[in-house]
Structure formats: structure tokens, C-alpha cells
Amino acid sequence: MPTADERKYERIDRLTRKLVARSKLGTPIIVEGRKDRLSLRRLGVEGEILCLKSSAMGFFDFLEEIKLWREVIILTDFDREGRELSSQLVRELSRVRVKTDDSFWRELRSLGRSEIRSVEELADYVERLRKTVKP
């Protein structure tokens, strides 16, 4: 019978593989900063990753750029600020008919609970989990 860590690793591994696949199909991922992008690259995401806070533009100028996409994945940090930013992105992008997917954010937040607060920590967290279940 699998341990709690093994089950968590299986779920997070499945989820990251799904994220990589969606990215390969052309769906961009919105993150907060450059370190978040680096973390996703370490997990194998090769597609477009858009950094909201490290872009040289303000929030609404950033939204203008995003309007060019039909669908985006929102993957902000898991703290209070990230939750608020995610909600604001979903609300504003739905107004301009950009489909938003925050399901990865919701599931990763629930899997990480208190262990991770940001996307930047995600690759290290997955690596630590992998080492505990596959030493």
C-alpha cells in the first residue's frame, strides 16, 4: 500500500506532466516572476511562460498582451497575494473572453498545503518528494 508521500508524489507528477503537455500544445502559463518561470522549466515546461510582475508593463498593459491568446493557464503563488492576483486575472480575462484555467493552481495549492508557498519552490518540492519515494 502506497504511503502518503508516494500518493502525493504520484498526484503531483501526473499534474506536472499534464501541465507540460498543455504547454506543448500552445497554452501559455502566467506566473508572477522569473524564478517561477525557472522552476517550471526545471519541471520540463518548454512552452510560453508569461511573467506578470517581471514584465516591464503594468497589470492592465499586461492584460492587453494576454488578450491575444484564446486560453491561458494561471499559476500564481499560493499565498494571499497570489490568490488575489489569480482571482483578478480570472475576472479580468473572462471579461475579454480569454479562457482561463486555474485548475493546476488549485490542485497544486491543495497538494502543497503548508509545504510550498510559491511556484518558485515547486521544482525543489517535487525533487524532495521524488527522493523520499524513490531513494
24-41 pLDDT, tens digit each: 999 999 999 999 999 999
pLDDT for 113: 73
Q: Please, what sign has the CA dihedral across residues 57, 60, 63, 64?
A: negative
pLDDT for 94: 93
The average confidence (pLDDT) of the chain is: 92
66-123 pLDDT, tens digit each: 988 999 999 999 999 999 999 999 999 999 999 999 999 999 988 877 788 999 999 9
How far does CA 113 lie from the centroid of its chain?
A: 15
DSSP state of 96: T
Within 1-135, strands assigned E span 29-31, 49-51, 71-74, 99-101
Q: pLDDT tier at 135 (50, 70, 90 boundaries)?
A: low
pLDDT for 134: 72
Q: Which residues pair with 29 in a beta bridge?
A: 49, 73
Backbone angles phi, psi at 101, to 5 degrees: -125, 110
Q: H/E element holding 71? A: strand 71-74
Mean pLDDT for 6-33 is 94
Question: Looking at residue 31, which CATH number applies to its domain?
Answer: 3.40.1360.10
Q: Please, what sign has the CA dihedral across residues 7, 35, 19, 75?
A: positive
> Above 70 in pLDDT, residue 4?
yes
> Above 80 in pLDDT, residue 56?
no
User: Which structural domain range is residue 84 located in?
Assistant: 4-133
Instruction: Report the domain count for the chain.
Output: 1
